[in-house]
Amino acid sequence: MAKNMGKVIMASKDFILQRINIFAGKKIDPYVDKQVHEMLKEKFDIMLPQRRSMNESLSSTTSDHEVIELILQYRTMR
């Protein structure tokens, strides 16, 4: 059963990545801060607040765009 659970989690992670890439209009790596920052700024005009980490910046942003929540979800699913 543990193997099936892993497949469900991976499929979910793959699905989230697919949705992020659709929003971005290209393939990006949600773990690469620079790619995330550039995509949010260029595509959605979202400026992130300065924080110690990208995850903190994403969590603290005033934007409620769905892509931000997807990126946070993806980055916490290792």
Residue 26 in tokens: 């290209």
pLDDT digits (tens, 9 = 90+) for 12-70: 999 999 999 999 999 999 999 999 999 999 999 999 999 999 999 999 998 889 999 99
CB 1 within 8 Å of CB 7: no
Give the integer Cα–Cα distance in Å for 56 and 26: 24
The pLDDT of residue 78: 73
How are the residues of the chain apportioned to helix, strand and coil, as percentages rounded to the nearest 5?
A: 70, 0, 30
The pLDDT of residue 9: 59
The pLDDT of residue 1: 44
